Every structure is written in structure tokens, then in C-alpha cells.
A and B are shown apart, each in its own frame.
Chain A
Amino acid sequence: MLPFPVLIQPGESPVKQVVYAASKAILAGVMRAGDAFPSVRELSEVLKLHPNTVQKVIAELVRDGFLAVRPGVGTVVTTGPRAPDEDRRRALHASVEQLVVEARRLGLECDALVSDVETTWTAVFGATRLTGTGGGAVAVPRRGGGRTR
């Protein structure tokens, strides 16, 4: 068994699917900084993925700052992703635009969409927020924690 939930569906790239599942689990605190990440061999066997495909998954997660390779130890979960670079911010903006247009087509007002986004955010990540500029994900109470932006 793997320490994060993932079910590979045919059609979409398995690399994308596993990267998505692992980063979601790390952001949501299912896996925490310092936790050992499964080996290529283990991921390959459990998910029935070719080892080359698993190598690509790990390379992407390392590149995005979710994992670090410790020689002699293996791959471990790190404190969180680096600050997003400009290209990827722009890519995200395109998705947001799509979401906004789709919401409008369904006749939703902006606040209804924002409240949907907030509910989903909490459901996936719990009441966590990114703090500071170092890019580390730290869980802080949403209300009454005495910490405001």
C-alpha cells in the first residue's frame, strides 16, 4: 500500500496523474515533511507502472520542490513547494479564466463561485494557508488563531 491515494485511469498521462495525487497528498498533510517517499520499485509494482514512468514522476516532484533525494536514505517529502514561477502562474491564470467563464455560463455570480472555491480548498487542504515568503506550507488556524495577514 502507498502512503497516498491514487488510482490510475487509462487515457490521461500516468505521470500527470501520480504527480497530481502525490502533490495533493503532500499539500493536504497526508504526507509530511521528512516522511519517506516510496521507492521507484515499490511505486512501480503497486501502481503497475513502468520504472521509467515512475522515474519521471519523482523527477517532476523533485523539480517542483515536493521531494528531495537524500543519498543513501532515499526520497523524502520536503517542507513544500518553492514559490511558483511566472510561467506556471500564467498557466494557472488560464485555468482560472476557464473556470470563471464556465461559472458564468451556468449563471453563477462571482461570490457564489468564490464561496465554492473556499469550500473546496478547505475540503482538500483543511484550514491551512501558505505563510511567509519561504514558500513552506504551514498549518495555521483560520479563525481565532491570532494570526492575520
Chain B
Amino acid sequence: MTRVVVEGVSYRYDGRGDALHDVSIEAPSGAILGLLGANGAGKTTLLQCCAGLREPMRGRVLVDGVSSARRALIVSGDVGYVAESVRLPSDMTLAHLEWWIAPLHRRWDAALATSLRERFGLDASRKLTTLSRGEYMKAALLCALAAQPRVLIMDEPFAGIDVVTKDEILRGLLATAGTSGTTMLLASHDIAEIESVLSHVAIITVGRVRVSGSMESVRERYRQVTMVGGDALLDAFAGEQRWLEVERAGRMLRIVADGERTPLDAGMLQRRFAGADSITVEDLSLRELFSSVVRGTRADSIRAEAA
């Protein structure tokens, strides 16, 4: 059974349009899914629906087949939730906090907590209020990971955190994903830094899923083509269809294409556009794909308003 199944979820805040519209994504056991979206795209709303903190107006979120809204999964310890704004009891030391929350979680792993504390370089005897921002986030993640939830939801855990600490956290997540099978949903703007860590990805813009799947399938599906040549050729290729994105400067044209609609092969293009000086078909980094999708959606909405 697929660990996390989001099925046609829609959510609306009072007096505003749909924050989420018919969102469907899936993540298997042990997956690390990157949830990418511009500010206001609906990432936090979606993650809160997954955690059972909000109930979708339509659709549902299943964790191992159980609806996250129906049972308080977050209370039972099946779902962990760590957000940028997380607050820990300020009077406690980390040791005290661990002692306090361990009995609340039936799968609490004290050895894992200890190893994460060492890995993160945290001093268990210090009061939580004296921790730096990075240490505070590491303490929160330690507690979430040691509870061994089926799903760990992280909403911008790296905001305002230095690169060394970020790397420590990412390595801690990988070590846990590899051994415990916890599925992680991770919303972050640090796309270039998290790309390699992800096994799955979902890109949402204005409440809709535009791209989703395993990193491998997404990498194979979306390509960029760069063509250098005369105006007539560039016009012909640019106008062939509604590409995901088209950019043009002088004699160079760059398009981003969804390979599922149009299989793109350098040899085939070279034969069809034999007059071009050069044609290359390349993979996209996740950051480039994300930018294309966001810019493409904005261009669409401007066109729609103008029409």
C-alpha cells in the first residue's frame, strides 16, 4: 500500500478562492518528497491537510489507507509535523523534553534520539530557550524523528539556517529515511540544496499540482532544447505548440518541453530543422524546471486576464 495518498484535495479559506484545487500526489514508504511552490502557492495548507490539522473541503489524505482527518494521526504519533514556526516548551532542557515526550509515542526510539543528538552536536543539558535557531530546529527534528512516525511533515525547516547546519540536518534525514522507512514531505525554497536528497517531487502553483512523480520520471519527462539559427527556423519551432516556456535572444531560442506530450530527440530535431547551426536537448535541474513552471503559470494567468 502506498504510504501517503493525497486524493483530489480542495481547500478554501473564507472569502477567498481555492487555496488548493483537486490536488493529488503519492509518496511510497521511505520516500522523501519535495513540495515546491512559490510563496502563497498552497504548500502550507496542503501539508496541514496531510497532518490532519485542516480538513479538506473535498478529497482526502490517506496514510497507510487511514484518513488523516478521521483519526488524529498527529496525536497517535503516526504523523510528525515540524514547521518553521515550531515552539518547544521553553523551560525544559532537551533531556527533559525527550523524557517527557517519549512515553507519548509507542515507537519512540531512545537509541535513535541519542545518535541524532550526537550527530547534531546538541547538549541535552541546555535549556531550549538558549539554543540558536539552527539548534532549535535540530532539537525539534530530533524529537520528530525519534518518534519514528510513518510520515514526517516538514514545512520550511531550513528557513534562516546556515549551510553547515542544513547539511547536518539533511544527512540526519537521509540516515533515518534509509533505516526507518519514514516517508518525509518536505517544503523548502532551497531547491538546489535539496534536489539530490529527494526521491519524489511535487510542484504546485496557485493551488494546483503542475508536476509530480519520482525524481527519475520527472527528470526524464521535462527537457530543454536550445536552438541556434535563423529567424524563420526559430519562429517555426517556437510556434509549433504551447511549450512550457519559450525564451529567445538574438539567434538563440530556448524552450522547455513536457516530453510526455512531445517526445524530443536531438537527432529527430536535427533532421527536421536541418538549417539550424546547433540544436541541443538537455536535462533540466529541478531549480530550472521549477522556475519554468512558475513563470509559465504566471504568463498563462496574465493571458487569461487579458482575454
Q: A41-B178, A44-B178 are in contact. Are A50 and B283 (CB under 8 A)?
A: no
Assembled-state Cα–Cα distance A10/B195 (Å): 7
User: B177, A11: Cβ atoms under 8 Å?
Assistant: no
User: B197, A51: Cβ atoms under 8 Å?
Assistant: no
Indicate with 1 or 0, residue by residue over B195-214, a CB within 8 angstroms of chain A CB atoms: 11111000000000000000
Assembled-state Cα–Cα distance A114/B31 (Å): 47
User: A51, B283: Cβ atoms under 8 Å?
Assistant: no
Chain B residues lying within 8 Å of A53, measured Cβ to Cβ, are 196, 199, 215
Chain A residues lying within 8 Å of B215, measured Cβ to Cβ, are 50, 53
Chain A residues lying within 8 Å of B32, measured Cβ to Cβ, are 50
Q: List B residues 266-307 near A (Cβ within 8 Å).
A: 282-288
Chain A residues lying within 8 Å of B31, measured Cβ to Cβ, are 52
Partner of B174, one of A8, A14, A44: A44
Partner of A52, one of B175, B199, B282: B199
User: A51, B195: Cβ atoms under 8 Å?
Assistant: no
Assembled-state Cα–Cα distance A12/B171 (Å): 21
A interface majority secondary structure:
helix
CB distance from B186 to the nearest CB of A (A): 11
B interface majority secondary structure:
helix
User: B175, A8: Cβ atoms under 8 Å?
Assistant: no
Q: List B residues 227-285 near A (Cβ within 8 Å).
A: 282-285
Chain B residues lying within 8 Å of A44, measured Cβ to Cβ, are 174-175, 178
Chain B residues lying within 8 Å of A8, measured Cβ to Cβ, are 196
Q: How many residues of A contact B (CB 8 A)?
A: 19
User: B197, A49: Cβ atoms under 8 Å?
Assistant: yes
Assembled-state Cα–Cα distance A8/B30 (Å): 22
Q: List A residues 10-69 near B (Cβ within 8 Å).
A: 10-15, 40-41, 44-45, 47-53, 56
Chain A residues lying within 8 Å of B177, measured Cβ to Cβ, are 50-51
Indicate with 1 or 0, residue by residue over B150-176, a CB within 8 angstroms of chain A CB atoms: 000000000000000001001100110
User: A45, B285: Cβ atoms under 8 Å?
Assistant: no
Partner of B192, one of A10, A15, A51: A10
Interchain residue pairs A-B with the least CB separation, the first 7: A11-B285, A10-B285, A51-B178, A50-B199, A45-B171, A52-B199, A44-B174
13 residue pairs of the A-B complex, CB under 8 angstroms, read A11-B288, A13-B219, A44-B175, A45-B171, A45-B174, A45-B175, A49-B197, A50-B198, A50-B215, A51-B177, A51-B178, A52-B30, A52-B199
Interface residues in chain A, defined as those with a beta carbon under 8 Å from any beta carbon in chain B: 8, 10-15, 40-41, 44-45, 47-53, 56
With A48-B170, A50-B199 known, 4 other A-B pairs at CB within 8 A are A40-B178, A44-B175, A44-B178, A49-B197
